[in-house]
């Protein structure tokens, strides 16, 4: 009995010390409870969520762009070659042996000039040499034959082109063939002139598709004066405008999120909260898309940071 009476005061003192330490610890960590509660799952740390300690959600940094009315063009990007607008192959009128050629690649010739002579003689027979005459004025582009070659009336002796006027020849894939019409505009970029764009119009459209490549041959003519830096034989990248719509609602292409077959964007409301909108899309190109339903002109559409948003999240707009 005496032992218990001696231990009881010590026990009370120990319990008091523990209680004081517990209270001190609680008040020391109390400022951090909202942060821990925000990181906790449903219900929060120690049940504090909804009990007055819930921390506000951090605002997501985003960039925005307003919905605007403008013109959008849909185009097909294809490759082509620069050719002389007027280019012909010259043939002999008779078969025989090339007795002489009078021009080289790059030479300028005039219509009616004799470009080569063909000797149609046979063993035991002698005939007069037959001239090959140029049917156009221009520049010699190719000389497929040389002196002494044997040719027929179907052999190309010389290729002559008028380099004062150039065109672009390209082939449109079958799925876009119905959109290829005379008068369509196009933007042309050349490997030899990086960073520069030239305008052209479709001038010639083949009535049939190539059965092997399933493409439609078209030719385009440059608009305006010819740039002397452009030469026949250059490689061209053609952006053919297949359709145009004016005065429609446009947003940057990067604003649109594809989710399970739907198109979704986020807009920012007057309270700087994100609002999820499902939209319908019309024409598209590399930079913009047409919105036919779901947005109003002037809505601020999130174009950067939208992949981390949920409906109702607070946001902070930056330039």
pLDDT at 158: 94
* Sheet strand arrangement including 114-119: 130-133, 114-119, 96-101, 150-151
Confidence of residue 274 (pLDDT cuts 50, 70, 90): very high
Confidence of residue 41 (pLDDT cuts 50, 70, 90): very low
- What letter would DSSP give residue 136? S
CA distances in angstroms from 115 to 56, 120, 140, 161, listed in the order given: 88, 16, 10, 14
* 161 has a pLDDT exceeding 70: yes
What does residue 205 show for φ and ψ, rounded to 5 degrees? Answer: -130, 125
pLDDT at 37: 46
Q: What is the mean pLDDT of residues 170-188?
A: 90
Share of the chain above pLDDT 90, in %: 58
pLDDT at 5: 47
Q: What is the mean pLDDT of residues 90-113?
A: 93
CA distances in angstroms from 296 to 2, 37, 72, 163, 253, listed in the order given: 88, 38, 17, 52, 16
pLDDT at 115: 95
Confidence of residue 87 (pLDDT cuts 50, 70, 90): confident
- Under 8 Å between Cβ of 210 and 142: no
Cα 307–chain centre separation: 22
* 1 has a pLDDT exceeding 80: no
pLDDT at 3: 42
41 contact partners, CB below 8 Å, separation of at least 6: none
32: three-class secondary structure by DSSP: helix
Question: Whole-angstrom Cα distance, residue 50 to residue 44?
Answer: 8
Two tokens, residue 247? 């005065």
Strand partners, 202: 220
pLDDT at 8: 61
Confidence of residue 49 (pLDDT cuts 50, 70, 90): very low
Confidence of residue 28 (pLDDT cuts 50, 70, 90): low
């Amino acid at each position: 009995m005496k032992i218990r009476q001696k231990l009881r005061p010590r026990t009370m003192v120990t319990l008091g010390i523990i209680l004081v330490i517990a209270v001190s610890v609680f008040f020391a960590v109390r400022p951090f409870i909202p942060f821990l509660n925000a990181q906790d799952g449903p219900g929060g740390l120690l049940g504090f969520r909804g009990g007055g300690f819930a921390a506000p959600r951090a605002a997501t940094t985003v960039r925005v762009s307003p919905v605007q009315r403008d013109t959008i063009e849909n185009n097909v990007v294809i490759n082509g070659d620069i050719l002389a607008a007027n280019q012909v192959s010259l043939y002999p009128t008779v078969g025989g042996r090339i007795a002489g050629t009078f021009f080289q690649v790059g030479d300028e010739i005039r219509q009616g000039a004799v470009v080569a002579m063909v000797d149609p003689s046979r063993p035991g027979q002698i005939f007069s040499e037959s001239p090959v005459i140029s049917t156009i004025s221009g520049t010699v582009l190719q000389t497929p034959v040389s002196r002494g070659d044997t040719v027929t009336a179907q052999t190309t002796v010389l290729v002559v082109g008028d380099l004062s006027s150039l065109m672009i020849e390209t082939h449109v894939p079958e799925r876009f063939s119905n959109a290829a019409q005379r008068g369509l505009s196009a933007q042309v970029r050349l490997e030899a002139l990086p960073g520069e764009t030239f305008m052209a119009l479709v001038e010639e459209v083949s009535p049939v598709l190539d059965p092997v490549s399933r493409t439609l041959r078209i030719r385009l003519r440059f608009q305006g004066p010819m740039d002397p830096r452009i030469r026949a034989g250059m490689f061209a990248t053609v952006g053919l405008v297949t359709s145009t719509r004016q005065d429609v609602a446009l947003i940057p292409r990067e604003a649109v999120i594809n989710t399970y077959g739907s198109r979704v964007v986020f807009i920012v409301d007057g309270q700087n909260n994100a609002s999820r909108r499902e939209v319908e899309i019309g024409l598209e190109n590399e930079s913009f898309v047409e919105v036919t339903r779901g947005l109003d002109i002037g809505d601020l559409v999130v174009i950067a940071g939208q992949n981390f948003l949920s409906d109702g999240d607070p946001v902070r707009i930056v330039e």
